[in-house]
Structure 1
Amino acid sequence: MKKFLLVFPCLLLGANLQQINKDISANQKKIQKKENEKNQITNLLQKLGIQINEKYKKIQNIDLQITHLQHNISNNQNKNLNEEKSLVQYKNILKDLQDKKQEIRQKITKMLINDASFLIILNQNNPVSPDDIILQEIFRLLNKQGQEKILLLSQQEAIINQKIKDTKQTIENLNSSIAAQTNRRDTLKLMLKEQKNLIKTLKKDLAIYNKKLETINAERKSLDLILSNLNILKQKTQKEIEEEQKRQNALEAPLEVKQIASSYKTLSTATYKGPKTIAPLESFTIEQKFGPYFDPVYKLKVFNESIILVSKTPNAVVRNILDGKVVYAKEVPILKKVIIIENANGIHTIYSQLDKIAPTIKVGLKVQKGYIIGRVEQKLSFEVTQKDKHINPLEIFQK
């Protein structure tokens, strides 16, 4: 972008120093902002690290609980298996006892029948011999012994039945414990899975924020380098100002000089060949024309790259004269606010000395002919270039 006005060296250096100070201030604010972002992300990373450690501790605790439960389940399953075996043994013992009781009952019944038959025979055959009496007594003794054996077997049967009942209850209790422990183990496994998934998510967040921190550190280094260069430039500019002031004092340069035209030599120009368009101001007079002229005050031959239009109404709107795209829009020392629009065929239209830039104007915005780009209280400086040549703006629009 070409310079639109040329100022005496000391004034130009002062404007540059002012801009450098602004750049230093803006850069320091950016550095502070990056430092705040770095602190925020560092705190967040610490919190994420604490959360991840807590999740790992929770996972270890859950793992221990699952291991303990699995151990208890295995023990209870083994106990249950042993109880099942015992139950089968008790049932077999019970069956043996019942079979023995049945066998004794059958023997007693047989003896009672034989005893009854023997009594009938004794009653029919008198007198009774000693052998008969002995035989009868043997029957009675055998019957008594059988009854005693049945009683003993019944007692043993009652003991075995109680053991069977106790064993069944133990098996039932073990099965309930195994079921409860299995449910708890499965619940803990789900919790374990959730905690592992949370750790994966936290680790992803950790990686993202670590990457952001690396980016911020890189940006901070870049800003520090820019700030260092700006400070060097500031010192150099201040030295140049001091030297220029000494030189001007030696030459006794006039103190009231503010600015003069943009170039002291004839520039390369071109003729506009496109269609006519609108003027940037609706109602105006021309204060400064395009081209060379002789400055009677400073006795210098100068060349005006731009024209100066004086609006007949205050706070006048400034319109874009050709379709194009905004490539520059900001305030510049001495030139006030400046807008540069890139048009077709390598043409650039330059609007300076603006008092206001329209809030919609941003770099990259495509604007059509007639679009309001800003306002001026009185004067508008307007310049047109095509590639490396200057065009008389009055050739493009008609007053």
Structure 2
Amino acid sequence: MKVIWILLAASLLFGASIEKKIQRQRSALQKTKERMNRLNLELNRLAKGIAALQKEIRDLDAKIARLDRSVQELSKEHEQRIAQLQAARESIKRLEFKHARLREQLVMAISDTFSKSLLLASLDESTEEDIVKEEILKAIQRRENEKLRRISKEFTQTQKELQRQQESIARLKEQIDLLLKKRAALKTLRYQQSEKVKKLARQKRRYDQEIKRLIKQQQQLRKTLEKLQILKKEQEAKRKVNVKVKKYGGYKKDRTIRYTGPKTIAPLKRFVITKRYGVYKDPIYKIEIPNENIELKPLEENAKVRNVLNGKVILAKWTPHLKHVVIVKHAGNLYTIYANMDVLSPFVKKGKKIKKGFVLGRVNSKLIFEVTKDSAHIDPLDLIKVR
């Protein structure tokens, strides 16, 4: 029955290990959920921040557009004023030239009149012709003086207009410069806000990627948890079977019963018995050790292990110490246990009904064979035929 105890202990340890894994997976799943909640809150905050910045950028774009229109209008007016200034300058040049020419003509006329006046004054008597010429010169002088006054007045007015245009152009230039400075400041602010949006967008993408990663992790954790829950259920079922087998196979000397039914085939065709059922004395430590099974050494390599009676497989698994183990339940609450098999048949599955002689697996060194019924052990040699 050592086999049953070892299987039961392994099942309990494996069950405890599964429970720990389940707890770890649940804890990891909870942490993932908490992390996702924090990231979702952060994503909401980022989304609001991005929306606010985008609104600021739209407002800045509207302000920049208005400034651009103002700059265009002022620039157009500035160009018109410059054209007017250029025209005024050209007019000033023409007036200056005209003024200079008239002054020159006037000087010549005055000089000529003055010379003639001196000449007339030197004469005792003036002729009628001289008097007429003098009057003509005086009339010319008056006319030229009048032209000179008009030109001077026009020149003065043009100078004033020139000054006014220059002042207007200076004011326009100041306004344009101020608008351009405002526009540059808004452009800088818009660039800064755009960079903030890009930064927040990059951060949002990272959070989105982290959320996707966590969702995948959550899905994987849930799958793992589901598998562990299934394993736990399977392990619980095996534990119940093992407990049931233990219940029917617990070793007590006074509960060993003799099998009186017809004998059946042995699990191996050719073998020697290396350890018999019952209490034996350890040759080294000189202590009595109860042995609830028999050990059979096959006389051929890779020997077939056969099922000894019709029945149903209730356990088929591999353990580190007993290799492949199979437990078969037969009629009348009889159980046979086959352990230390090197190879397990792929057709042996839990719940499978099998016939007498069905090959369970193969063995090389030794086969451990055990039989129980109800709450007692049976010497396997009472059940099988030995040649």
TM-score range, shorter chain: 0.5 to 0.7
* Contact 1:294–1:300 (CA under 8 A) maintained in structure 2: no
Partner of 1:36: 34
Q: Quote the residue 2:156 is aligned against.
A: 158
Match of 1:86 among 84, 91, 94: 84
Q: In 2, are the aligned partners of 1:292 and 1:302 still within 8 Å (CA)?
A: no
CA 1:28–1:110 in structure 2 vs 1: closer, same or farther (change >3 Å)? same
1:253 deviation in Å? 6.9
Who is 1:228 aligned against?
226
Evaluate the alpha carbon distance shift between residue 300 and residue 146 of structure 1 in structure 2; reply closer, same or farther with a 3 A threshold. same
1:36-185 equivalent positions in 2, closer than 5 A: 36-120=34-118, 122-123=120-121, 135-185=133-183
Structure 1 residue 38: Cα displacement = 1.4
Counterparts in 2 of 1:129 and 1:5: CA distance versus 1, 3 Å:
farther
- Whichever residue aligns with residue 88 of structure 2, its letter is Y
| 1:219 partner letter | Q
Aligned amino acid, residue 224 of structure 2: I
Per the TM alignment, residue 165 of structure 1 is displaced from its structure 2 partner at its CA by: 1.5
Structure 2 residues without counterparts, runs of 5 or longer: 253-272, 276-281, 296-364, 366-387
The verdict on how the C-alpha distance between 1:108 and 1:168 changes in structure 2, with shifts beyond 3 A counting, is same
Q: CA deviation at 1:238?
A: 3.8
Q: 1:300 Cα deviation (Å)?
A: 4.0
**3-state secondary structure, aligned to 2:225:** helix
Aligned partners of 1:108 and 1:146 also within 8 Å: yes
Q: Please state how far the C-alpha of 1:35 moved relative to its aligned partner.
A: 0.6
Q: Secondary structure in 1 aligned to 2:5?
A: coil
Given that 2:75 and 2:176 are in contact with CA atoms closer than 8 Å, whether structure 1 keeps it comes out as yes
Identity %: 17
What is the deviation of 1:22?
2.7
Give TM-score scaled by structure 2 length.
0.55
Deviates more, 1:87-96 or 1:166-175: 166-175
Q: Deviations over 1:336-374 (max 9, x none)?
A: xxxxxxxxxxxxxxxxxxxxxxxxxxxxxxxxxxxxxxx
In 2: Cα distance, 1:222 partner to 1:125 partner: 136
- Measured in 2, the distance between the counterparts of 1:7 and 1:252 equals 9
Aligned-residue offset at 1:86: 2.0
Q: Which amino acid aligns with 1:91?
A: R
Structure 1's unaligned 5+ residue stretches are 255-264, 268-288, 304-388, 390-399
Contact map agreement 2:89 2:162 (CA 8 A) in 1: yes
Task: Tell which structure's C-alpha radius of gyration is larger.
Answer: 2
Measured in 1, the distance between the counterparts of 2:173 and 2:20 equals: 81
Quote the offset at 1:32 in angstroms.
Answer: 0.1
Distance 2:171 2:13 in 1: 94
Paired with 1:61 and 1:293, the residues of 2 have a C-alpha distance of 98
Change (3 A) 1:198 1:294: farther
The superposition leaves residues 132-168 of structure 1 with CA deviations (integer Å, 9 ceiling, x where unpaired) of 6555444434333333332222222111111111222
TM-score (norm 1): 0.53
Counterpart amino acid of residue 79 in structure 2: L
